[in-house]
Amino acid sequence: MSLVTMTDLAIRAREPGVTRPRAASAEIVGSDGSQSDAASAVHQTVGLIVAYIPSEILVTYVALVAAIQSARSVGHTGEWIAFWLFLVLSPSVCWVLYATKLRHGGSALPLHPKVWPHWPMVAATIAYAVWAYTLPATPFASFSWYQPAVGTVALLLVTMLLGLLAPMFQPTRS
């Protein structure tokens, strides 16, 4: 699966001579490089939502929650701490990835908030929260009102909204 990340889109928007990309350009691609017709709508939606979240957040959160659950005796405190920690880290990691790519391209660090990748940072945070809500091992399952179907609906709606809003908030090239 090959996805265009929001950080990649923010970097491309700064490159001279490059038109502003759309977040909807992220596609699910088969192992042979062709677009997969067999992929389910939910699989495609998950692929689109994770395009907004830095992979460092996704992988580390899943590994940490798995470790917490295997060591847990009672309660969901550790899972909640992990959820909130990674919610806070999502925009920070997005900025670090953006800054790293800029530095490798020979540009200055984006220290001033005016040059931060605001849309990718916000989108990553929202997408992470919804994605974590839909996981089978979500700490939200500790609430009596939690229903997995609500997570699926939220995933579909947020993915649609982020895709619709992305073209409006993507930075234009400088």
**45-49, 105-109, 110-114: which has the minimum mean pLDDT?**
45-49
* Residue 125, pLDDT above cutoff 60: yes
Burial 99-109 (b: 16+ CB within 10 A, else e): bebbeeeeeee
Question: DSSP state, 109?
Answer: P
Q: Quote the Cα angle for 1-22-12, to 5°.
A: 85
Rounded to the nearest 5°, which phi and psi values hold at 29? -120, 135
The pLDDT of residue 169 is: 86
Higher per-residue confidence, 11 vs 79:
79
Instruction: Write the pLDDT tens digit of every residue in 48-102.
Output: 788 889 999 999 999 999 898 888 666 788 999 999 999 999 999 999 999 999 9
pLDDT grade, residue 1 (50/70/90)?
very low
Averaged pLDDT, 158-170: 89
* pLDDT average, residue stretch 155-163: 91
Count Cβ atoms within 10 A of the Cβ of residue 37 and give its class: 0-12 exposed, 13-18 middle, 19 or more buried: exposed
- pLDDT of amino acid 96: 95
Average pLDDT in the 101-105 region?
93
- Give the residue with greater pLDDT, 29 vs 133: 133
pLDDT of 16-55, one tens digit each?
Answer: 444 433 433 344 444 455 445 444 655 666 677 888 899 9
Q: State yes or no: pLDDT of 132 exceeds 80.
A: yes
